[in-house]
Amino acid sequence: MATPVTPRIDVLKTYKLFIGGAFPRSESGRVYAIKDSKGNHLANPALASRKDLRDAVVAARSAFGGWSGATAYNRGQILYRMAEILEGRSEQLAVEIAALEGVTPRVASQQVQESVDLLVWYAGWSDKISTIAGSTNPVSGPYYNFSTPEPIGVVAVFAAAKPSLLNLVGAIASVITSGNTAVVVASEKFPLSAITFAEVLATSDLPGGVVNILTGSAAELAPWTASHMDIDAIDASGLTPKQLKDAQLAGAANLKRIRVFESAKSPKRILDFMETKTVWHPIGI
């Protein structure tokens, strides 16, 4: 006689925020529903609040000194390690992308592979960006004069929607390659790749707080991000024209640098969140 099969309940994934290297729920306890491309309920990610944003900024600022002080070679090695782990999660990410974006499994897998390659590409730039943007300046007198690009600080990122993983990876990698830290607001409609990518970050060598990922409403969080005095710049690629205009107005009071990018792969994305510092040094006699 055959043994009856005991029915079981699937263990569904709990989607949380990623702040300071940990995975807390939103302090508000709120979630929101997302549906797949066919209109079926898919998941309930956390709906981040203003308090969650403040916590993420505190974590990013605390991590900035150590991350910006690391060698460019070390940062590049960590980005490469992130690419290795991302490739190991390729199957899961492809399934999530296909379900949420409504693309074929082949297209979803291609997006994951392009994201892995993009991380490797930015890893290669980490110890080269100063070479193309820095200079030794001719001066009249017994001095050396050096100009070098340095990270600007804490950068808020509103990732563009589709392709969700590729845009997210391009935005994060371009910010942290130079030594900045990031507070990321994932695409409200396509957030699953962001949460899985947070798990990639947590299992890499990336120090806690260097990247913090929030899910929720860009319309709710963007105004507070723009007016926050401890956020130095914003990648506003995922904001609507009205949200962008409002952010620019709110950020004007604190001279916040706000940028929008068309391509996920460009050294300009790195340089736009760096500042040129000039050092004078006497010539020894």
CATH code of the domain containing 81: 3.40.605.10
**pLDDT one-digit tens code per residue, 98-157:** 999 999 999 999 999 999 999 999 999 999 998 888 777 777 778 788 888 899 999 999
What pLDDT sits at residue 2? Answer: 66
Specify if 65 maps to a domain: yes
DSSP state of 126: T
Cα–Cα distance for residue pair 89/95, rounded to 1 Å? 10
Specify if 22 maps to a domain: no
Specify if 12 maps to a domain: no
Cα–Cα distance for residue pair 35/191, rounded to 1 Å? 11
Give the domain range for residue 40: 34-282
DSSP state of 211: E
Radius of gyration of the chain (CA): 21
Q: Which of 123, 67, 113 is nearest to 87 (CA)?
A: 113
Q: Does residue 168 register a pLDDT over 90?
A: yes
Specify if 29 maps to a domain: no
Specify if 177 maps to a domain: yes
Kindly list the distances between the CA atom of residue 152 and the CA atoms of 103, 175, 240, 272, in Å, as whole numbers in the listed order.
37, 10, 25, 9
Q: Does residue 285 register a pLDDT over 60?
A: no
Q: How far is CA 188 from the centre of its chain?
A: 14
* Better-predicted residue by pLDDT, 82 or 4: 82
Number of domains composing the chain: 1
Specify if 5 maps to a domain: no
Q: What residues have CB less than 8 Å from 239, skipping those under 6 apart?
A: 158, 218, 222, 247, 260
Specify if 9 maps to a domain: no
Question: Strands (DSSP E) along the chain, which ranges?
Answer: 34-35, 41-43, 135-136, 143-151, 154-158, 181-185, 211-214, 233-235, 257-259, 274-282
What pLDDT sits at residue 258? Answer: 95
Q: What is the mean pLDDT of the chain?
A: 92
* Better-predicted residue by pLDDT, 142 or 180: 180
Diameter of the chain measured on Cα atoms: 97
The model's confidence at residue 9, banded by pLDDT at 50, 70 and 90, is: confident
End-to-end CA distance of the chain: give it in Å, rounded.
Answer: 97
In degrees and rounded to multiples of 5, residue 184 shows phi and psi of: -110, 130
Q: What is the mean pLDDT of residues 240-258?
A: 92
* Better-predicted residue by pLDDT, 233 or 14: 233
Share of the chain above pLDDT 90, in %: 76
Q: Does residue 45 register a pLDDT over 90?
A: yes
3-state SS, residue 41: strand
Specify if 19 maps to a domain: no
Q: Does residue 256 register a pLDDT over 60?
A: yes
* Pairing mode, strands 154-158 and 233-235: parallel
Cα–Cα distance for residue pair 54/73, rounded to 1 Å? 31
Kindly list the distances between the CA atom of residue 195 and the CA atoms of 6, 28, 239, in Å, as whole numbers in the listed order.
32, 18, 19
Cross-strand pairs, 151: 274
Q: What is the mean pLDDT of residues 224-253?
A: 94
